[in-house]
Amino acid sequence: MPLNLAIGAFAGLILGVGCVMLREQANPRLQEPGDAGAYLNVLELGAIPKAEYFLPGARHLLGSGETDPYDSEQCLERITWEQRLSGMSESFRSSLISLLGSRNGHRPHVMVVTSALPGEGKTTVISNLPIALAEISGQVLLIDGDMRRPRLHRVFDLPNSWGLSDVLREKGVTDELPLDALVKKTTVSRLRLLPSGPCPDSIFSLLCSERMWRLMERFRREFDYVLVDAPPCLEFADARVLARHTDGVVMILRANYTDRKKAMAAVQRLSMDGIPLLGSILNDWNPVNTRDAYGYSGYQKAYGQNPA
């Protein structure tokens, strides 16, 4: 009997370890809060749940890359402004508070937001973070540094006929133009936007130019916070170049979409450049399919409705 029990226990242990390893190999993607810290050794700033979790009527899912809003009067990219008391808005604010305290009390003032690959929901996150930031701070500037696929001008309903690419191509513009002519006001109080402008032929050389350095130094002096939307860092070098003018990078990850190995490769490239990684934000997370992390299930109905 003791021998049979020992053999059974050992076999059960081997079988359990094998099942865990098989499960990990079967789904190599980041799935829930805590995975970024466990697999990437990266500080996790927050988790953004699926839009449909707090907004049952939403057709526009976070990270889908579509521009069609789920409601004629509300757009997910501006939900922190359109629905200030919603649970989705609070998840962005929670991530922002973690971001501002990510460097042991030394608040980062100029930041780049990027992802490993397209489709992570980067634009949705960087549209809402400065809105939340403008609620609690002074002047905030949002720069669309993704000249290859600009979107922020659509989010804030502004033209993109002139922007960052024009500033970097025209000599003297960075110092001579008044601030009101250089950046555009948005409908959000204390938030301004510098669109990407027309896509140039030499994006890399413009970003590496001295004019880019002078421009970022001016914005650092004239704004309390500056956030830069950058293309995915595994496909293009833009984010790594832009990050050299900032205090660090925020990496956007998407639940059940971002491959762990590719996310690790992105983190290693930033580390190789000596660029501080301020942390990561996991979006499009489905709390229903996880172990009730953060206790969202008890608040779904409460956050799904705004008080009258």
Backbone angles phi, psi at 46, to 5 degrees: 175, 175
Does 22 or 259 have the greater pLDDT score?
259
Q: Are 114 and 281 within 8 A, CB to CB?
A: no
Query: Tell me, what's the pLDDT at 104?
Result: 63
Token pair, residue 297, equals 């299930």
- As a whole number of angstroms, the distance between CA 46 and CA 293 comes to 12
Name residue 110's amino acid.
Answer: V
- CATH architecture under which domain 33-304 falls: 3-Layer(aba) Sandwich (3.40)
| pTM > 0.75: yes or no | yes
- Tell me, letter by letter, the H, E, C secondary structure of the chain: CHHHHHHHHHHHHHHHHHHHHHHHHHCCECCCCCHHHHHHCCCEEEEEECHHHHCCCCCCCCCCCCCCCCECCECHHHHHHHCCCCHHHHHHHHHHHHHHCCCCCCCCCEEEEEECCCCCCHHHHHHHHHHHHHHHCCCEEEEECCCCCCCHHHHCCCCCCCCHHHHHHCCCHHHHCCHHHHCEECCCCCEEEECCCCCCCCHHHHHCCHHHHHHHHHHHHHCCEEEEECCCCCCCCHHHHHHCCCCEEEEEEECCCCEHHHHHHHHHHHHHCCCCEEEEEEEEECHHHCCCHHHHHHHHHHHHCCCC
Does position 26 have pLDDT exceeding 80, yes or no?
no
Q: Are 54 and 87 within 8 A, CB to CB?
A: yes
Does position 293 have pLDDT exceeding 50, yes or no?
no
Backbone angles phi, psi at 91, to 5 degrees: -70, -35
Does 5 or 123 have the greater pLDDT score?
123
| Domain assignments of the chain as residue spans, ordered by start | 1-30, 33-304
Does position 297 have pLDDT exceeding 50, yes or no?
no
Q: Are 46 and 281 within 8 A, CB to CB?
A: yes
* Residue closest to 257 by CA, chosen among 144, 111, 78, 122: 122
What digits encode the pLDDT tens for the residues 190-243?
999 999 999 988 899 999 999 999 999 999 999 999 999 999 999 999 999 999
